[in-house]
Chain A
């Protein structure tokens, strides 16, 4: 390939990526908005039982059928978005922010802080996740917030490591040296030079993590450790309906499809963000 063509191709690629970015960002925002306004937009009360209507297949009146208590599945799925999407976003935000800060400080200051924090993160990583989640659930009771806590404690090292690695790489770079010569102190260094540059990979990691975290939360709810009935959450809806996979499949498939579509959307968004940050690895 010749050089000029390369530049033009890259420009076209970048435009295409930008379009995709907007599309997926839009979809993601729609999902978040749906979660936010879930209570307002549901056709039925997701917790209203009506035993005479139990286990109805999907129909005009009940778009996704009803569950064993006669509750409208579609309403529960929409409200479940609130639990699943919000909790996941909070989880990812908290762990990424905390992990990044800790990792950056470690990478920048090194020495004592570094070894202590790295050992702590080792313990967090070496401790089997499931045992920890089960223990937290037994300890603090079930519930989404406790599931989020359990996953947060296990997940922050990931970001810390990325941040640390990136910081270490940057620490020895030229412009950082220049800034130091210019008299910036540590805080300013981190704030102005390091953080902005590592935000890219962190953001990508975070975006790609959303899908995984959503499934982990669903998994915990599936095991009965996260959302407790009668709360509507996709994981525990699937768990509750799992025995009826063959007889009343819509009970499992509806939340399953919801998880799937949401995760796919955020995964696609994450991929596009990564492509945007680094067009060389674009997957046009």
Chain B
């Protein structure tokens, strides 16, 4: 197991190279740069000399490959550089925004799990009854609404009409995270719910459930032991897919609610061509991706002895 994990982690290195090179390249090809963007915002009229000086200061006048190699070199020494926009160190900026994204991710996942597992099971157990239809319809709706729409609706109803939550976040707090987390949770729950339901139905139709019932084992025990375990596997699979995007910060939702997380930081950085920040973000995403995949694989092996005891490696 350990050998496998180490091997996977080592794969991270070539991936990081490829990704940072690609992102640097694409940003350069995308044209414009931070000096121009700033000028744009302030509609300032500065002389060409000042523009050139500003570019030179940031090293933007050198060819692309040299810039990339310079950045790599600094990275090797542990220096992630400074933001072109705010002139503050990239690493500390990034780390300061991370808690917000982590909190949002955590609360969203919590809400999702708390909503989708009970409802999914309820729906499966009451298959084809009214409750099932209601829940499935709600799930469909949740799955079919774009998240930018949902966030606006939530904001309108809960922040303005009912005044339960603040519109603009007041720092990283539970109060402020509620609406953005709800937005994300709605879409995620809709997806998860259907999967949980399908898994539970699948399990329920299995022979051992009939057998247990026949033997007089209480239904709830059967549920808790085996069915839940099966649902957990499903949930974990889904979480793998979601966590990448959650930890990358869901940019749209973060921007709309002014949630000062990593996603919003990334979008702003891309708009302003703030390369050092973009590179940091891209690396972060790659690391999450590899780590999460690794953890999933490992937990699979742990949870499902069939794989552990000798199946084909994926």
Give the B-binding residues of A (Cβ under 8 A): 1, 119, 122-123, 125-132, 134-136, 138-139, 165, 168, 172, 211, 215, 218-219, 222-223, 235, 238-239, 242, 245-246, 252, 256, 259-260, 263-264, 267-268, 280-281, 283-284
Contacts and interface: CB of A to CB of B under 8 A. Distances in A.
B205 interface: yes
A252 B149 contact: yes
A135 B266 contact: no
B243 interface: no
B204 to A, nearest CB: 11
A83 to B, nearest CB: 15
A234 B146 CA distance: 11
Given A131-B282, A263-B143, A281-B198, 5 more contacts: A128-B282, A131-B270, A139-B26, A219-B146, A242-B148
Given A123-B15, A125-B289, A130-B251, A267 B143 contact: yes
Interface stretch (B27-35, B74-82, B102-110, B302-310): B27-35
Nearest to A235: B146
A245 B285 contact: no
Interface of B: 11, 14-15, 18-19, 22-23, 26-27, 29-32, 127-128, 136, 140-141, 143-149, 152, 156, 197-198, 201-202, 205, 210, 244-245, 248, 251-252, 263, 266-267, 270, 278, 281-282, 285-286, 289-290, 312, 314
A141 to B, nearest CB: 10
B227 to A, nearest CB: 14
Given A135-B23, A139-B29, A223-B252, A126 B15 contact: yes
A130 B290 contact: no
Contacts of B22: 123, 127
Contacts of B147: 219
B245 A127 contact: no
B201 A283 contact: yes
Nearest to A242: B152
B14 A131 contact: no
A280 B282 CA distance: 42
B234 to A, nearest CB: 12
A126 B286 contact: yes
Contacts of B314: 165
A16 B91 CA distance: 58
Given A123-B15, A126-B286, A281-B201, A267 B266 contact: no
Contacts of A132: 26
Contacts of B198: 281, 283
B285 A135 contact: no
A242 B149 CA distance: 8
A126 B289 contact: yes
B136 A135 contact: no
Given A131-B282, A256-B145, A283 B18 contact: no
Nearest to A249: B156
Contacts of B145: 256, 259-260
A106 to B, nearest CB: 12
A138 B146 CA distance: 23
B282 A127 contact: yes
B266 A131 contact: yes
Contacts of A239: 148
B19 A280 contact: no
